[in-house]
Amino acid sequence: MTPLILADTGPLYALADPSDQYHSRANLELAALGRRRLAIAIHYATLCEAYTLMLRRLGGKYARQWLGEMFDGAVLLSPEPADYANAAGFLERFDDHAITLVDAVTAALAIRLEIPVWAFDSHFVLMRTRQRR
C-alpha cells in the first residue's frame, strides 16, 4: 500500500490560490511529497471545509473543478465516531487554543492511522501528531 499523508485545509487551499501567502511553500512541499511517493489523503470534513473556502474565495466553477480533482486523485477517508470523541477531548484539553473541530478530527484520525499530517498550523504539534518532514 502507498504511504499516506493526511492533508489539512491550509496546504490544500494554498495550492489552489496563487495569491495565498503559502502558495509557493505548498507547491514546494507537494513536489517533495511526490518525490517521496506519498499519497495525499483527505478526510471528508476537511474536503467540505476546503471546498467551502474555495467556493467563497475563488468561485463556484473553480471549487467544483477542485472537488472533481480530489475525487479523482486524493485518498478520501471517513473518520470514525471515536475520532470525533477524541477530537472533543483535544478541544477540552487545549481550550486556550483556537483549534477547530475539523483540525481536531484531523489530528485524531492521523494518530489512529499512524500517518503524518501536512499542515501549516502549529497546533498539530500541540496535539502530538506526526508532521510532514
pLDDT tens, residue by residue, 85-100: 999 999 999 999 999 9
* Rounded-to-integer distance, Cα 45 and Cα 12, Å: 13
Over residues 23-53, the pLDDT tens digits come to 999 999 999 999 999 999 999 999 999 999 9
> Does residue 131 belong to any structural domain of this protein?
no
| Domains held by the chain: number | 1
Q: What is the mean pLDDT of residues 72-91?
A: 96
Q: Give me the helix-helix angle, 44-58 and 101-113, nearest 10°.
A: 140
> Does residue 132 belong to any structural domain of this protein?
no
> Does residue 102 belong to any structural domain of this protein?
yes
Across the chain, mean pLDDT equals: 94
pLDDT band at 132 (very low <50, low <70, confident <90, very high): low
> Does residue 94 belong to any structural domain of this protein?
yes
Domain of 25, CATH number, reads 3.40.50.1010
Phi, psi (degrees; rounded to nearest 5) at 4: -110, 155
> Does residue 133 belong to any structural domain of this protein?
no
pLDDT band at 133 (very low <50, low <70, confident <90, very high): low
Query: Bigger pLDDT: 126 or 107?
Result: 107
Determine the residue type at 46. T
Q: What is the mean pLDDT of residues 2-14?
A: 95
Q: What is the mean pLDDT of residues 106-125?
A: 92
* Rounded-to-integer distance, Cα 101 and Cα 93, Å: 13
Range of the domain at 88: 4-126
- This prediction's pTM: 0.92
